[in-house]
């Protein structure tokens, strides 16, 4: 029987009120520190959940939506120019890490390589990293650098949540197709390892997929 990635497709949701809603795991998070090189990383201790993705895929907007804040994570005015890992403390004491965007930067190749090496090293060797949230523009799907990152990360058997962002820019049929295409690419490339991956349609504007992402991240922390 063909193995399938776990897919959580959220229906298109109207903006819900917060009355009676339990706070999401990232809600109320606050900035702790930034690290531009390995020696600046905080001591390992609290569990960490990393957010990664190509430049301009909507990573900062996704973090802000999940934190119910507007300016917790900042997007660089020039895509790909953020050079450090930013750490945010959740109410539980766990950490969110906002990794530098990859795949685009108007900087020298050697500097771009150094940033990406730092990111790859963190994702593959950080012992307190318990889960990865990969931000993918739903209109463009998984790209080669996304696949490379997953290839390095998935052998650890830690879970991945892919947020297919900007899903509100697609109609209903296109939304379903975007999620299925991501799922198919995962199964084709990673076979049974794709079972560690959950895929959600997501929009920071319409808030589609926010509640589903909350549930997945909360389960990791439990």
| pLDDT 10s digits, 16-57 | 435 567 899 999 999 999 998 889 999 999 999 999 999 889
SS3 132: strand
Q: Which residues of the chain have pLDDT under 70?
A: 1-20, 75-82, 104-108, 111-112
Helix (H) or strand (E) holding 176: helix 172-190
How confident is the model at residue 195, as a pLDDT? 96
How confident is the model at residue 113, as a pLDDT? 75
What domains can you pick out in the chain, each with its CATH number? 6-221 (3.40.50.300)
pTM: 0.86
Q: Cα dihedral sign for 138, 141, 145, 150?
A: positive
């Amino acid at each position: 029987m063909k193995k399938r990635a776990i897919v959580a497709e959220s229906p298109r949701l109207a903006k819900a009120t917060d009355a009676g809603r339990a706070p999401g795991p990232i809600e109320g998070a606050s900035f702790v520190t930034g690290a531009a090189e390995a020696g600046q990383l905080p001591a390992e201790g609290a569990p960490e959940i990393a957010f990664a993705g190509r430049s301009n895929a909507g990573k900062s907007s996704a973090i802000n939506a999940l934190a119910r804040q507007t300016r917790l994570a900042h997007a660089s005015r020039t895509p790909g120019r953020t050079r450090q890992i930013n750490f945010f403390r959740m109410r539980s004491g766990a950490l969110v890490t906002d990794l530098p965007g990859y795949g685009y930067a108007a900087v020298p190749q050697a500097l771009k390589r150094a940033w990406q090496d730092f990111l790859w090293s963190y994702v593959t060797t950080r012992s307190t990293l318990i889960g990865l949230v990969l931000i993918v523009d739903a209109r463009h799907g998984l790209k080669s650098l996304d696949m490379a990152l997953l290839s390095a990360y998935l052998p650890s058997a830690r879970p991945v949540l892919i947020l297919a962002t900007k899903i509100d820019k697609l109609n209903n049929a296109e939304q379903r197709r975007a999620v299925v295409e991501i799922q198919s690419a995962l199964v084709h490339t990673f076979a049974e390892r794709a079972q560690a991956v959950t895929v959600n349609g997501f929009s920071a504007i319409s808030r589609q997929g926010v509640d589903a992402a909350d549930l997945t991240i909360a389960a990791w922390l439990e």
